[in-house]
Amino acid sequence: MSDWENNVRKIVPYTPGEQPKEKNIIKLNTNENPFPPSPKVDEVLKDIKYTDMRLYPDPDSTELVKAIANTYGVKPSEVFVGVGSDDVLSVAFLSFFNSEKPVLFPDITYSFYDVWAKVYGIDYVTVPLKSDLTIESRDYVRENGGIVFPNPNAPTGLLMSVGDIETIVKANPGSVVIIDEAYIDFGGTSCLSLTKKYDNLLVVQTFSKSRSMAGMRIGFAIGNEKLIKYMNDVKFSINSYTMNRVTILCGAAAVKDQQYYKDNCARIIKTREHTKKALARLGFEVPDSMANFVFVKHKTASAGEIFEELKKRGIYVRHWDKPIIKDYLRITIGTSSDMLKLLGTLEEILGKDTSQVF
Ligand SMILES: *Cc1c(COP(=O)(O)O)cnc(C)c1O
């Protein structure tokens, strides 16, 4: 090791799902939306002038912030936007998790949380899920320097009620509670309404899943204006121009077109429910996911082997070779045609019949 390397901040980074280069695969590994974004986004893209790129974007992303505020019935001062919710969450970790006490999050959850905690030097403790993979709200009523988890949780897809979230927020006036609602639009009830009542609750959402805009990188947080001010202070201490011109305009157009994305979510929910039944018939245990993916475990076949067999046949799903979840596969809900191909292929691999499902 060179001398200077002793002084390097060393970190094991987060590993995102694979983005395979080959065409004609069925990609069910990173929870992208199988449908395109709102046609309003296409209109914006066609109108944009490349000469405008000469100028810096609006550092406050005013147009996008306003559109989100209008849609969710809050003030612009209660909205923070960032480059995907990963950026929003990272700024929130840096802003709010600054205590001597450890931050709490589940042992099985979004695997970026421990990476941010480590890179920012935040002490944390993971809390085990219950044996049915749900989060026990009472486990979060104890001393802590902050709380964060997704609802529905990832990668389980299991939802916590707004009542249970309120229990946690109410019991922790001394810390900020961050609820990562990346998948809330697929059938869950958002806890956004609680932000009117509690100034220590930050709700984070993304355009990447329900609004089909993972490639554009838009996330946002809603909370008390004091929380948002603290986050903006941190953001403006790192990079003023996080959101580019194109993204601000496309995001504003997308969020104004509520009906479009709601219809898509309804289609995905319907396909998910069919897929759950079909997977159960194939011998999978299927926890009741409320997200745009299912997290399933086969009663006899190994998840690692199914994963490899699917990949060989051009179908990408997600598998983690980690304790507790190594027997599970996370499968994104694609179009009904994608799911039929998946089920047919699983049938081939497992030697079962799933015809007549859709
Ligand atoms: C996908 C995801 C995110 C991040 O999404 P962005 O694309 O950065 O908006 C955050 N949290 C969870 C739980 C996710 O699954």
Q: What is the pLDDT of residue 17?
A: 83
Q: What sign results for the dihedral spanned by CA atoms 68, 73, 79, 82?
A: negative
Instruction: Determine the Cα–Cα distance for residues 27 and 25; give it in Å rounded to an integer.
Output: 6
Q: What is the pLDDT of residue 18?
A: 83
256, 279, 312 — which closes off a domain? 256
Are 117 and 222 members of one domain?
yes
Closest Cα to atom 15, ligand 1: which residue?
182
Instruction: Determine the Cα–Cα distance for residues 210 and 213; give it in Å rounded to an integer.
Output: 8
pLDDT tens, residue by residue, 184-237: 999 999 999 999 999 999 999 999 999 999 999 999 999 999 999 999 999 999
Report yes or no on 67 lying in a domain: yes
User: Do residues 234 and 87 touch, judged by C-beta distance below 8 A?
Assistant: no
Closest Cα to atom 11, ligand 1: which residue?
182
The atom number, within ligand 1, closest to the CA of 85 reads 9
Lowest average pLDDT, out of 183-187, 265-269, 352-356, goes to: 352-356
198, 229, 256 — which closes off a domain? 256
Residue 280 has pLDDT above 70, yes or no: yes
pTM metric for this prediction: 0.96
Give percent above pLDDT 90 in the chain.
94
Under the banding of pLDDT at 50, 70 and 90, the label for residue 352 is low
Report yes or no on 2 lying in a domain: no
Total structural domains within the chain:
2
Span from the CA of 86 to the centroid of ligand 1 (angstroms)? 6
Q: What is the mean pLDDT of residues 77-106?
A: 98
Could you list the residue range(s) of the whole structural domain that residue 137 is in?
39-256
Are 95 and 30 members of one domain?
no
Instruction: Determine the Cα–Cα distance for residues 96 and 91; give it in Å rounded to an integer.
Output: 9
* 82 DSSP β-pair partners: 219
Are 277 and 291 members of one domain?
yes
* CATH number of the domain bearing residue 108: 3.40.640.10
Report yes or no on 166 lying in a domain: yes
256, 291, 320 — which closes off a domain? 256
Report yes or no on 66 lying in a domain: yes
Instruction: Determine the Cα–Cα distance for residues 80 and 231; give it in Å rounded to an integer.
Output: 8
User: What DSSP string describes 23-58?
Assistant: SS-EE-SS---SS---HHHHHHHHH--GGGGGSPP-
Residue 314 has pLDDT above 70, yes or no: yes
Are 226 and 197 members of one domain?
yes
Are 146 and 294 members of one domain?
no
Q: What is the chain's Cα-based Rg?
A: 21
Closest Cα to atom 5, ligand 1: which residue?
85
Are 295 and 337 members of one domain?
yes
Are 49 and 157 members of one domain?
yes
Are 288 and 168 members of one domain?
no
Closest Cα to atom 1, ligand 1: which residue?
182
Are 277 and 224 members of one domain?
no
Q: What is the pLDDT of residue 102?
A: 98
Return mean pLDDT, the chain. Answer: 96
Q: Among residues 223, 17, 207, 248, which one has the least CA distance to residue 111?
A: 17
Residue 59 has pLDDT above 60, yes or no: yes
Report yes or no on 356 lying in a domain: no
Strands across the sheet with 124-127, in order?
A: 79-82, 219-223, 201-206, 177-180, 147-150, 103-106, 124-127
pLDDT tens, residue by residue, 150-170: 999 999 999 999 999 999 999
Write down the residue that tokens 């600054």 correspond to.
98
The Cβ-side half-sphere exposure at 5, using a 13 Å CA radius, reads 3
Q: 3-state class of 7 per DSSP? A: helix
The ligand 1 site (C-beta within 6 Å) comprises: 31, 84-86, 110, 150, 154, 180, 182, 206, 208, 214, 219
Q: Among residues 31, 102, 70, 82, which one has the least CA distance to residue 204?
A: 82
* CATH number of the domain bearing residue 301: 3.90.1150.10
Q: What is the pLDDT of residue 353?
A: 53
Are 202 and 270 members of one domain?
no
Instruction: Determine the Cα–Cα distance for residues 282 and 165; give it in Å rounded to an integer.
Output: 35
User: Do residues 317 and 32 touch, judged by C-beta distance below 8 A?
Assistant: no
User: What DSSP string describes 209-275?
Assistant: STTS-TTT--EEEEE-HHHHHHHHHHHTTT-S--S-HHHHHHHHHHHH-HHHHHHHHHHHHHHHHHH
Span from the CA of 7 to the centroid of ligand 1 (angstroms)? 31
The atom number, within ligand 1, closest to the CA of 209 reads 1
244-253 in b/e form (b: 16+ CB < 10 A) is bbbbbbbbbb
Report yes or no on 330 lying in a domain: yes
Closest Cα to atom 2, ligand 1: which residue?
182
Q: What is the mean pLDDT of residues 171-196?
A: 98
